[in-house]
């Protein structure tokens, strides 16, 4: 039962935080006529057969023959409509993953797409492309940062066609810059072999591992700061309640030591970070945080500048507060900020951090599909 095998491998990677944090990642299985792909808003960790959308591959293939509007918003809406129309009857209540087209074009029965921090240590690094080419010379594709959706699928499709034409085979590893990795094989065991190769090869090149061990809070009660953040965020947003979650570990102490140290984690590396932890974390100086009204002022100014209450607030020398309109959203902000911290540490082995560009960050922030995913995740 291949759908059952898909469920099992989805749970296998989905429940391992080295591969999947919060709702990230998606998986698929395909035969000749149909593709089963993860539905948007479901989680790999507790995947069930009903969480996959059965798609008509003929209808998906016809998307490549069509011409879409040049305007990104109109184009993505039109492609989404065609993708929805490719669901087989009975699947109308599900929304296929935004990466469905990409899954469909990869010529492997099983495809597992994840955003592991270790792998993103390469995909989000200054020398990532050269390092990936050297480490995976046997067969891998590097896709430069590209807006997700139809355009990304098209870029990968063209790159795969070129690769096949030049080398007479297809790569089973596709690195997406500032995003993650796709791995494919015709059996789930084969997928595991590919992933082990990826993780072991990159892992062998890491000079320093992130240290997320808990640190004693030597700066007094973070609860007072947390309480103030909670109250101010609620009054700014106009919502009755706001949630915060505090975290302090060895890396957070290191990165919040000064505004300069914070630079390595001050922008988003990948779409996941934007969606859950926000594209612009607020850094508050210890002196400002300690002064009367300092936190209120800093939070207010940052919200006015960016247009949204920040999802992550770092206080110098103290740690990081995840913020959100629900407990889960606040916890996810911390989880994904910690993920960004891990990515930042891993990039040290590959030339240092490379953030998403402001244009790409804006695209994700405004993307209707990502908004849907955030809504579902809360």
The closest alpha carbon to 108, from 199, 195, 45, belongs to: 195
Q: How far apart are CA 106 and CA 183, in angstroms?
A: 9
Give the Cβ contact number of residue 372 at 10 Å: 14
Q: Please, what is the minimum distance in Å from the beta carbon of residue 249 to Zn ion? A: 26
Q: Please, what is the minimum distance in Å from the beta carbon of residue 22 to Zn ion? A: 12
Q: Please, what is the minimum distance in Å from the beta carbon of residue 329 to Zn ion? A: 20
- In sequence order, which residues have a C-beta less than 8 Å from that of residue 286 and are 6 or more positions away? 315, 316, 317, 318
Residue nearest to Zn ion as judged by C-beta position: 180
Q: Please, what is the minimum distance in Å from the beta carbon of residue 218 to Zn ion? A: 38
Nearer to Zn ion, 106 or 289 (CB): 106
Of residues 270-329, those binding Zn ion (CB under 5 A): none
How many residues of this chain interact with Zn ion, rule: CB under 5 A?
1
Q: How far apart are CA 176 and CA 132, in angstroms?
A: 11
Q: Please, what is the minimum distance in Å from the beta carbon of residue 4 to Zn ion? A: 24
Nearer to Zn ion, 146 or 249 (CB): 146
Nearer to Zn ion, 274 or 295 (CB): 274
Q: What are the C-alpha distances in Å from 10 to residues 3, 17, 192, 277, 315?
A: 10, 13, 11, 24, 37
Nearer to Zn ion, 60 or 102 (CB): 102
The closest alpha carbon to 114, from 40, 186, 196, 18, belongs to: 18
Nearer to Zn ion, 173 or 298 (CB): 173
Chain centroid to Cα 261, Å, comes to 23
Nearer to Zn ion, 280 or 370 (CB): 370
Q: Please, what is the minimum distance in Å from the beta carbon of residue 179 to Zn ion? A: 6
Window 165-194: contact mask with Zn ion (x via CB under 5 A): ---------------x--------------
DSSP, res 3: H
Which residues contact Zn ion by CB under 5 A? 180
């Amino acid at each position: 039962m291949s759908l059952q095998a898909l469920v099992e491998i989805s749970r296998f990677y989905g429940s391992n935080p080295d591969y999947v944090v919060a709702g990230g990642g998606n998986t698929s299985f395909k035969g000749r006529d149909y593709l089963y792909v993860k539905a948007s808003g479901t989680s790999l960790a507790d995947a069930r057969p009903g969480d996959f959308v059965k798609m008509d591959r003929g209808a998906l293939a016809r998307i490549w023959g069509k011409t879409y509007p040049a305007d990104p918003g109109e184009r993505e809406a039109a492609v989404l409509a065609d993708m929805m129309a490719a669901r087989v009857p009975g699947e109308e209540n599900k929304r296929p993953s935004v990466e469905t087209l990409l899954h469909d074009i990869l010529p492997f029965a099983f495809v597992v797409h994840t955003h592991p921090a270790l792998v993103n240590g390469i995909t989000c690094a200054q020398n990532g492309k050269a390092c990936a080419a050297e480490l995976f010379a046997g067969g891998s594709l590097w896709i430069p940062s590209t807006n997700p959706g139809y355009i990304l699928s098209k870029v990968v499709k063209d790159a795969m066609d070129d690769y096949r034409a030049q080398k007479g085979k297809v790569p089973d590893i596709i690195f997406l810059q500032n995003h993650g990795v796709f791995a494919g094989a015709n059996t789930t065991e084969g997928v595991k072999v590919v992933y082990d190769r990826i993780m072991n090869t990159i892992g062998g090149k890491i000079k320093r591992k992130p240290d997320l061990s808990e640190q004693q809070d030597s700066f007094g009660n973070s609860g007072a700061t947390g309480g103030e953040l909670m109250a101010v965020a609620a009054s700014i947003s106009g919502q009755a309640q706001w949630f915060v979650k505090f975290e302090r570990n060895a890396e957070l102490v290191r990165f919040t030591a000064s505004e300069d140290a914070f630079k390595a984690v001050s922008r988003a590396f990948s779409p996941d970070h934007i969606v859950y932890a926000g594209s612009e974390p607020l850094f508050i100086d210890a002196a400002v945080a300690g002064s009367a009204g300092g936190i209120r002022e800093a939070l207010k100014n940052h919200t006015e500048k960016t247009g949204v209450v920040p999802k992550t607030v770092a206080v110098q020398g103290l740690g990081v507060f995840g913020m959100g309109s629900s407990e889960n959203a606040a916890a996810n902000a911390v989880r994904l900020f910690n993920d960004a911290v891990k990515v930042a540490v891993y990039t040290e082995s590959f030339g240092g951090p490379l953030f998403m560009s402001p244009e790409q960050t804006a695209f994700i922030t405004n993307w209707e599909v990502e908004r849907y995913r955030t809504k579902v995740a809360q």
